[in-house]
Amino acid sequence: MPTIVITGASDGIGAAGARQLKGRGHDVVLVGRNQAKTAALARELNAPFHTADYTRLSDVKRLAAELGELGRIDVLVNNAGGIMGPRELTADGFEKSFQVNHLAAFLLTRLLLPRLVASRARVIQTASAAANMFGGRFDTADLNNERNYTPLGAYGRSKLANILFTRELDRRHHADGLAAVAFHPGVVRTNFASETTPMMRLVYHSPLKYLLPLSPARSAQRLVRLAEGAPGTDWQPGACYAGQRPMKVVYQDDGTAARLLWEQSEAFVKPWLA
């Protein structure tokens, strides 16, 4: 059975996806931030687990070394993420939304590339339609959001980065046998806005949350469909899906921004690649 690694698996869409994939017979490997929460799900599913806090790239490097011990990785689901609060730098010196939602997953994928290519893996990115709503002013010269920071703006740009990273990963490594795809999980009743503005917390962390259209379990069906689907047949490599169809991405890129994002990200994580 395929081995599927899911980050952000301790809660929300990742946890629901892990439950469904395990129930369908896959070997699921859980990655969470919180030891107790991740261990509890690991016990429930009788699955191995790892932890890493994406605000620390040294954690991501250790995680990649641990995951490198797996014989193969058939699917890597880069799902960990959330909306942050006021602008903050991590201990590594990067703006927190950019690091947690994009750079950490970039580093993990980059470190695992030999294993992913050897496994002819699929790499799935949990992106968001927020890329279209709030991802304006995406600027590869300002990836750390020094100008015009708002929590939603930085979140939208980090989710656009997920989409551009998916395209560039697929462009660079499709010929090696790897395939990448991103998806918008819908508007889902989860905790992902727990660290952000009062307005978003009100929507996601009050009884109002039950007005949000999707349960994590419903949303995770999108993840399962991509994880089990065949690239080129069931989904278009390099695309970002919303439901069954590729999502129109408002931000126009002829490939230059995707390439610059990759090059900048690679330069940023260089100390952790050695």
Catalytic residue ranges? 155
75 bridge partner residues: 4, 122
* CA 193/CA 224 separation, integer angstroms: 23
| Chain centroid offset of residue 39 CA | 20
Amino acid at 207: P
Nearer to ligand NAP, 3 or 158 (CB): 158
Q: Shortest distance, CB of residue 185 to ligand NAP, whole angstroms?
A: 5
Based on the shown chain and the rule CB under 6 A, indicate whether residue 185 belongs to the binding site for ligand NAP. Answer: yes
Measured N-to-C along each axis, helices 104-118 and 151-173 cross at an angle, to the nearest 10 degrees, of 20
Nearer to ligand NAP, 6 or 119 (CB): 6
Q: Shortest distance, CB of residue 233 to ligand NAP, whole angstroms?
A: 25
Nearer to ligand NAP, 6 or 113 (CB): 6
User: Contact with ligand NAP (CB under 6 A): which of 5, 22, 45, 79?
Assistant: 79
* CA 49/CA 67 separation, integer angstroms: 10
* CA 109/CA 76 separation, integer angstroms: 8
Is 200:193 a contact under the CB 8 Å cutoff? yes
Q: Shortest distance, CB of residue 139 to ligand NAP, whole angstroms?
A: 20
Contacts 24+ apart (CB under 8 A), 246-251: 247/129, 247/132, 247/184, 248/132, 249/131, 249/132, 249/160, 249/163, 250/131, 250/132, 250/135, 251/131, 251/132, 251/135, 251/136, 251/138, 251/160
Compute φ and ψ for 183, nearest 5 degrees.
-150, 150
Q: Which two tokens stand for residue 221?
A: 């069906």
Based on the shown chain and the rule CB under 6 A, indicate whether residue 100 belongs to the binding site for ligand NAP. Answer: yes
Q: Shortest distance, CB of residue 137 to ligand NAP, whole angstroms?
A: 19
Q: Which stretch binds ligand NAP (CB under 6 A): 3-11, 173-181, 238-246, 248-256?
A: 3-11
Interface mask toward ligand NAP for 106-135; x: CB under 6 A: --------------------x-x-------
Based on the shown chain and the rule CB under 6 A, indicate whether residue 153 belongs to the binding site for ligand NAP. Answer: no
Measured N-to-C along each axis, helices 12-23 and 35-45 cross at an angle, to the nearest 10 degrees, of 20
Interface mask toward ligand NAP for 33-52; x: CB under 6 A: xx--x---------------
Q: Could you say which residues in the range 200-239 bind ligand NAP, by CB under 6 A?
A: none
Q: Which stretch binds ligand NAP (CB under 6 A): 66-74, 187-195, 223-231, 256-264?
A: 187-195
Amino acid at 53: D
Q: Shortest distance, CB of residue 109 to ligand NAP, whole angstroms?
A: 14
Based on the shown chain and the rule CB under 6 A, indicate whether residue 11 belongs to the binding site for ligand NAP. Answer: yes
Q: Shortest distance, CB of residue 5 to ligand NAP, whole angstroms?
A: 13
242 bridge partner residues: 184, 245
Which residues of the chain form contacts with ligand NAP (CB under 6 A)? 8, 10-14, 32-34, 37, 53-55, 79-82, 100, 126, 128, 184-185, 187-188, 190-192
